[in-house]
Amino acid sequence: MNAVQIRSAEKALSVGTWLIVGGAMLFSILTVTPLMERHSPKGWEWTAPILPLVVDAAVVIVVRLDSVLAALGGHGGRWPIVLRWMTGCMTLALNVADSALKKDLVGAAVHAVAPLLLIVTAETGLTYRRAITAAQSAREAQLKAERAEREQAATERREAQERRQREEREHAAQLAREQREHEALIAREQTAREDAARREERERAEARERAEREARERREQMREQQQAERERLEREAAQRRELEAREREQEARRQQQERAEREARERAALLAAGPVNEKLPEDKARLVVHASFGEGLPVRAAAELCGWSTGWVSARYQEHRDGTGLVLEAAS
């Protein structure tokens, strides 16, 4: 039986036991309370349910603690047995007392069913729980022993595997050592051959380098002679270019001076016309504005000279300040 089946059996036992206990308690309270009411002093009839409740509470304590002790594998000694049988006998006596006093044997037998069933169920449940606890302990011990055997077998297998792996590693290390020694011997022989080949190659390289150095020195001498000739020719060409540049610069300054004088005369001619009453054509007005801007005249004076509005003249002045006006004048 596995753990799930054991828990199911314990649950069935617990539920059944508490159903019987609850039913017996209810039946006992309903049976004993009328008897206690008839035998209580006048005015104290309301205390009749106390006695069956106390007895039934003792029954609940006994059943509950016995189940806990049985689950833990413990034993409470003689007093739990005395309390269990005393409460069972009290419950039986209280339940059959009324019928016995009336000499009703059938009633006494009927009322004895629930207490007797409660007593037998408590004893049987205790036995069942102790047996289940013992079986669980035995099963746990068996499982523990099997687990210990499995762990021991696994440990032995692991040790054997580690031993085999260690032997394999040692064998592989020995083979690797022998292989390294053989490779080292081959490498030494190869190194010796390579050293001899390198010496021969070095001697040949030194001979080639000497021949190349001599040829390079000859080429260097020739290149230096050619370089000196080129530098002489370049100096002469640079002197000619410098002379030509000075002549072009003088010619450019002369042309710039003539253009400035011409522009000054043109501005003077445009400004000499004086204020106009009608708007000049736009291209001519732009020339007048350009001349006014060049002479530093105010916007209003330029507007009077070209006949256009001061706003338009201000826009043209701004173009001249930004440099766009010069482009437009050059294009016109």
Q: What is the pLDDT of residues 74-83, one digit of tens each?
A: 565 677 667 6
The alpha carbon of residue 35 and the mean position of all alpha carbons in its chain are separated, in whole angstroms, by 76
Per-residue pLDDT band for 67 (boundaries 50, 70, 90) equals: low
When pLDDT is averaged across residues 92-103 and rounded to a whole number, the result is: 73
CA-nearest of 330, 327, 278, 329 to 306 is 278
Separation between Cα atoms, residue 225 and residue 234, nearest integer Å: 14
Per-residue pLDDT band for 44 (boundaries 50, 70, 90) equals: low
The more confident residue out of 14 and 255 is 255
pLDDT exceeds cutoff 60 at 145: yes
CA-nearest of 123, 108, 116 to 91 is 116
Among 88-102, 215-229, 294-308, the range with the most confident prediction by mean pLDDT is 215-229
Predicted pLDDT at 140: 76
pLDDT exceeds cutoff 70 at 272: no
Separation between Cα atoms, residue 33 and residue 284, nearest integer Å: 136
Predicted pLDDT at 13: 64
When pLDDT is averaged across residues 173-199 and rounded to a whole number, the result is: 90
302 burial (CB, 10 Å; 0-12 / 13-18 / 19+) is buried
- Amino acid at position 110, single letter: V
- Is 126 in a helix, a strand, or coil? helix
Separation between Cα atoms, residue 269 and residue 263, nearest integer Å: 10
Largest Cα separation within the chain, whole Å, is 162
Predicted pLDDT at 330: 43
pLDDT exceeds cutoff 50 at 220: yes
pLDDT exceeds cutoff 60 at 331: no
Predicted pLDDT at 321: 82
Separation between Cα atoms, residue 117 and residue 108, nearest integer Å: 14
Q: Which residues contact 36 (CB under 8 A, 6 or more apart)?
A: 47, 48, 49, 51, 52
pLDDT exceeds cutoff 60 at 324: no
Per-residue pLDDT band for 249 (boundaries 50, 70, 90) equals: confident
Contact call for residues 25 and 62 (beta carbons, < 8 A): no
Question: What's 308's DSSP letter?
Answer: S
The more confident residue out of 57 and 311 is 311
Predicted pLDDT at 60: 67
Q: Using CA of residue 154, residue 156, residue 160, residue 162, what is the dihedral sign?
A: positive
- Amino acid at position 302, single letter: A
Predicted pLDDT at 96: 76
Predicted pLDDT at 284: 79
DSSP line for 179-221:
HHHHHHHHHHHHHHHHHHHHHHHHHHHHHHHHHHHHHHHHHHH
When pLDDT is averaged across residues 310-319 and rounded to a whole number, the result is: 86
Q: Using CA of residue 192, residue 194, residue 196, residue 198, what is the dihedral sign?
A: negative
CA-nearest of 270, 332, 259 to 297 is 270
Per-residue pLDDT band for 134 (boundaries 50, 70, 90) equals: low
Q: Which residues contact 112 (CB under 8 A, 6 or more apart)?
A: 92, 95, 96
Q: Quote the radius of gyration of the chain (alpha carbons, Å).
A: 65
Task: Look at the block and give the residue holding tokens 């080429």.
Answer: 219
pLDDT exceeds cutoff 60 at 153: yes
pLDDT exceeds cutoff 80 at 260: no
Backbone angles phi, psi at 204, to 5 degrees: -65, -40
Per-residue pLDDT band for 328 (boundaries 50, 70, 90) equals: very low
